[in-house]
Amino acid sequence: MAIYAVGDIQGCYCALQRMLERLAFDPAADRLWVVGDLVNRGPESLNVLRLVRELGDAATVILGNHDLYLLMVAAGFKRRDKDDTLFQVLEAPDRDELLHWLARRPLMHVEGDHAVVHAGLLPQWTVTKAQALAGEVSAALAGPDAKKFLLHLAGDRPDCWSEELKGWDRLRVIVNALTRMRFCTPNGRMALRAKGPVHKGPPGTLPWFAVPDRFNRTHTIVCGHWSALGFYRTDGLIALDSGCVWGGKLTAVRLDDGEVFQVQS
């Protein structure tokens, strides 16, 4: 059995197909960890959702910001991005089944010494703490007020964590950290609009993974989300978003031995 981590797919169905062929992926024996953003911007989000869902227990899917955006739009969120490509999903005959499946994917997966998340972890969160907070979001997505939650999800405030936070503000901070963050200050204040290369972060901020003495260094964090960073591997971090949807590559890493696999968009 091999475990592969892959991301970000973003509707690039042909690249995903080629990657699975390249890996000789066997759903009966292997496992695929998808680090979020299955959908949007690319041309075939519907086929990506169907393929990954059909993998069943062989695929562990972490929700990314674009996946949550799809759920928000489906719930009635009106402020659509001009370049979203979700119409095929929203008009599909199996739309409801796919959205139900997607909404029940976690925001974090921890196994052994790896922790999988779409964007990052705030420096004051241990992996155990982050996993518990991610569970609060999952409970909201599966609960009776899921639609209300999704319609209150957009926004950049609050931009830092506090144990005193409650309600939508609490859930929004958790989601923003796990699915949108790239840069933050050493005390965990997020600069959520910053998305460029590492050396162009806002004054006073660092890439979240470069904050000294962050509490989650106990695990290797496997993530995506940051195409300007590209595929990047260092001690305690495997970042997989190599800009497939922007004409770059889809990247996967076999976690057993660290071998890297890439296919061109």
% of the chain surpassing 90 pLDDT: 95
Q: Which amino acid is at 159?
A: D
Cα(101)–Cα(188) distance, rounded to whole angstroms? 32
pLDDT band at 74 (very low <50, low <70, confident <90, very high): very high
Phi-psi label, residue 136: left if phi above 0, alpha if psi -120 to 50, beta otherwise: alpha
Question: Residue 171: its pLDDT value, please?
Answer: 98
Q: What is the DSSP string of 177-232?
A: HHHT--EE-TT--EETT--S-GGGPPTT-EEGGGSTT-TTTTSEEEE---TTT-SE
Domains of the chain: 3-264 (3.60.21.10)
Beta-carbon count within 10 A of 226 CB: 27
pLDDT, one tens digit per residue, over 178-231 is 999 999 999 999 999 999 999 999 999 999 999 999 999 999 999 999 999 999
Q: Is the pLDDT of residue 79 over 80?
A: no
**pTM given for the model:** 0.97
**Contact 214/126 with Cβ under 8 angstroms?**
no
Q: Is the pLDDT of residue 83 over 90?
A: no
Output the six-digit token pair for 48.
Answer: 């990506």
